[in-house]
Amino acid sequence: MKLKDNNLLIKMKKKDKNISIHFRIFAVTVSIAIFINITALSTGAIFLVHSVKNAINNNILLNEIAIMDIPSGILLIGIITFALSLIAAVVASIMLGVPYKEVDRLRRAAEIASVSKSTFLANMSHEIRTPMNSILGFTELALDNEVTHKTRDYLTKIQTNAEWLLQIINDILDISKIESGKMELENIPFDIHELFTSCRTLVIPKAVEKGIMLHFYAEPSVGKRLLGDPTRLRQVFVNLLSNAIKFTHTGMVKLLSEIIEMRDDKATIYFEIKDSGIGMTPEQIARVFDPFSQAESGTTRKYGGTGLGLSISKNIVEMMGGKLLVESTPGIGSKFSFSLTFNTIDVTEEQRFEKKIILSELEKPLFEGEILLCEDNIMNQQVICEQLARVGLKTVVAENGKIGVDLFMDRIKKNEKQFDLVFMDMHMPVMDGLEASAKINELKTGVPVVAMTANIMANDMEIYKTSGMNDCVGKPFTSQELWSCLMKYFTPVIRDESQKNVQAESDSEFQKSLQLYFVRSNRNKYNEIVKALEAHDIKLAHRLAHTLKGNAGQIGKIILQKAAEDVEHQLKDGTNLVSSEQLKTLDYELMLVINELSSILKDSERESNEYEPSVLDPEKMRNLFYELESLLRAGNPDCNRFAGELRLIPGSGKLIQQMEDFDFSDALLTITELRERMDIK
């Protein structure tokens, strides 16, 4: 898309050159016409003067001369020159009109190409971020539990590579924002020492792995706090530090800051990132800031990367009013430097503490409150509900925006306490997130609405703001990002040891429920795919393989995920190109996973069978059903807390399974059947 835009620009420049040539021809034509007109007028004037003299000498009245003594040749010259002037104007109009129309056409084509590029980037971002939210979310949840060393190693590698992919996506989106002029900078107080500490935390693992020394120094600015965008500035530092560590094999990497000038309300600071790495030649330096470019083609293969980091850093520094400079010598090392001028303010100790929380790695907090989650994707519902539950927050799930609005209105009618916060997905059936947010704001409840979506392009963010949303959490998000958002709307509470034990038990139960969901949903998936292929229903087979691929990835079964992906790929064009070997591999890998998790299913079934028939009296069952129905209508995962009591009721296994699978609609139907069977009204 970028190449297409450039080609259009080249064509437009060529057309501009053609316009210049046409304009020269037009100027020559007009000059000739003017010359002929002047000649004709001069000749006519000479003849007129001559006629006047003759008239005076012969005593003839001047008013009798006008037509009589003007030679017909003069009139003919006048007519010809007038005609030539008209012809020159028409020719010039045609000659200039054609290239201008072509330039206008190319300009419109370039604008269309730019819109297409933005649309493509938005779609790409959404399609990749949505499954990555589950991958990163479930990986974090798994790492938060007790797992074997080997499994933890696998999970860490999954997390690292997922974060790497996410960084590539973010870099591409940042370049798009910069090109469109839609990258905005914050202007908030921050402490440069805390910023350096945060950068050091991010890059130190790689430096330690390579045996490279890190040296950070920030000259203190006593009693002052800088105003700027610490997030974007940290992005610049981390990009430059990561490059320095990547291209340095031995020695040291330094990040230094020095106050050049300090006035009452302004401070000019010099920053320098220096390494003892491989260095660059003058030719390599000349193109080092070009997007998608590195020092040489072999650099990408040897060291990796997209070549976007330096280009983004250069643009951010320039947006902040500085200029990123580079000095480098091959075999000696490189130095990147820039100076920025910041406004400064005096801040209280409380403000310093608040900002430190944002910039530092947060310890797992604990909150009290209730959140409405408007999200139609079941796997995302599970991940988000569990992440919120782990920090003490109750969640009510709405499968679309309309249900969310209805829940608000229902609480208003019943005069019940409203939700403390809303997490709102954008793309949902029935009613999307924008419409639902607008309707919730119209209710004047004062409840903050936070967009939780994979659509985080600059245009999208502007739409969220104008639609009255308070904030945005982009998918996929880390626990740290989620906690940072929650800190804006909740005050953490102190957690005691008993709460920690309850939380650990809850985490274990959640992992078990995820694995149960996989076994129940996918144990017959291979047979379903084969039957679909035999019936020549390629579309169904493709969808089944796609679902299996996603579910396998969400529980970390990478080999099975790859096998399902291979089958899916061979069905993507509506033609069955799947080989028997690929089907055998899929069958084998799925069987291994199902066998591995089957013990969990057996344990669950055994636990259900160990309970004696109902020991609950009718009144207790009535109260249990009433409370469950209320939770199920609200889509509240807390309904699973009653699984133990439900097992005391004969025939409740189906209901328990539906609740564990977040199938709240069917669970409501099942609980109605149980009421009728038990004659509980």
In this structure, what CATH number is given to the domain that contains residue 477?
Answer: 3.40.50.2300
Q: How much is the pLDDT for 82? A: 62
- Contact by Cβ (8 Å): 381, 373: yes
Query: What's the half-sphere exposure (Cβ side, CA atoms, 13 Å) at 158?
Result: 26
> Token digits for 130?
């949505």
User: How many whole angstroms separate alpha carbon 161 and alpha carbon 567?
Assistant: 23
- State the Cα–Cα distance between residues 62 and 439, nearest whole angstrom: 90
φ/ψ of residue 225, rounded to 5: -125, 135
Range of the domain at 56: 1-182
Do 325 and 307 sit in the same domain of this protein?
yes
Distances (CA, A) of 24 to 18, 92, 315, 331: 10, 10, 40, 55
Q: Which residue, 563, 598, 633, sits at the end of a domain? A: 598
Which strand (E) or helix (H) includes residue 397?
A: strand 393-398
Co-location of 142 and 2 in the same domain: yes
Q: Which residue has the higher pLDDT, 16 or 566?
A: 566
Q: What are the Cα distances from residue 648, in Å, to 460, 627, 680?
A: 50, 16, 15
CB 84 within 8 A of CB 33: yes
Residues 71, 218 within the same domain? no
**pLDDT band at residue 450, thresholds of 50, 70 and 90?**
very high
In DSSP notation, 329-359 reads ETTTEEEEEEEEEEEEE---HHHHHHHHHHH
Q: Is the pLDDT score of 460 beyond 80?
A: no
Tens digit of pLDDT for each residue in 306-336? 557 788 889 889 999 999 999 999 989 999 9
Residues 182-203 have pLDDT tens digits of 677 888 888 888 888 878 877 8
DSSP state of 650: T
Tell me: do 246 and 295 sit in the same domain.
Answer: yes
Q: Which residue type is seen at 339?
A: S
Tell me, what's the pLDDT at 53?
59
3-class state of residue 265 by DSSP:
coil
Residues in a beta bridge with 450: 423, 471
Q: Which of 114, 73, 99, 115 shows the shortest CA–CA distance to 13?
A: 99
The per-residue b/e assignment along 627-647, b for 16 or more CB within 10 angstroms, e otherwise, is ebbebbbbbbbbbbebbebbb
User: Does the structure show a pLDDT above 70 at 565?
Assistant: yes
- Output DSSP code: residue 648: T
For the record, the structure tokens of 336 come out as: 């990147």
Same structural domain for residues 329 and 240?
yes
Q: What would the two tokens of residue 252 be? A: 């040291």
Q: Which residues make Cβ contacts (< 8 Å) with residue 597, sequence separation at least 6? A: 515, 516, 518, 519
Lowest mean pLDDT among 29-43, 227-241, 443-457, 646-660: 29-43
Of 271 and 641, more confident: 271
Q: Say if residue 387 is in the same domain as residue 523.
A: no
> Is residue 554 domain-shared with residue 631, that is, in the same domain?
no
Same domain? For 575 and 482 the reply is: no
In a domain, 145, yes or no: yes
Does the structure show a pLDDT above 90 at 341? yes
Q: Is the pLDDT of residue 296 over 60?
A: no
Q: Are residues 399 and 529 in the same domain?
A: no
490 and 517 fall within a common domain: no
Cis peptide before 613 (omega within 30 of 0): no
CB atoms within 10 A of CB 405: 21
Domain end (from 460, 495, 530): 495
576-590, pLDDT tens digit by residue?
999 988 999 999 889
Cα dist. 530→527, 535, 548, 550, 655 in Å?
A: 5, 9, 13, 18, 30
Is 17 part of a structural domain of the chain?
A: yes
pLDDT in the model for residue 283 = 87
Say whether pTM exceeds 0.75.
Answer: no
* pLDDT tier at 273, thresholds 50, 70, 90: very high
pLDDT single digits (tens) 405-426: 999 999 999 998 999 999 998 8
CATH number assigned to the domain comprising residue 565: 1.20.120
Pick from 510, 519, 521, 522: which is nearest to 640 by CA? 510
Mean pLDDT over 274-282 rounds to 90
SS3 615: coil
In this predicted structure, which of 119-123, 286-290, 523-527, 645-649 has the lowest mean pLDDT?
119-123
Unique residue bearing structure tokens 């539906």: 658
| pLDDT band (50, 70, 90) for residue 154 | confident
Q: Tell me if 418 is assigned to some domain.
A: yes
| CATH number of the domain to which 200 belongs | 3.30.565.10
Distances from the Cα of 182 to the Cαs of 311, 457, 469, in angstroms?
A: 16, 9, 19
**Widest pairwise Cα distance in the chain:** 146
Least confident piece of the model among 203-212, 405-414, 489-498: 489-498
Same domain, 299 and 196: yes
Among 495, 518, 542, the domain boundary falls at 495
Structure tokens at 409: 């209105």
pLDDT in tens, 346-389: 766 555 544 443 444 567 888 999 999 998 877 788 888 888 98
Task: Look at residue 66 and tell me whether its pLDDT is greater than 60.
Answer: no
Residues above pLDDT 70, as percent of the chain = 65
Q: Are residues 199 and 293 in the same domain?
A: yes
Position of tokens 């995962």?
A: 637
CA-to-CA distance for 677 and 665, rounded, in angstroms? 19
- Inside any domain, residue 361: no
Number of domains into which the chain is organized? 5
Can you tell me whether residue 296 is helix, strand or coil?
A: coil
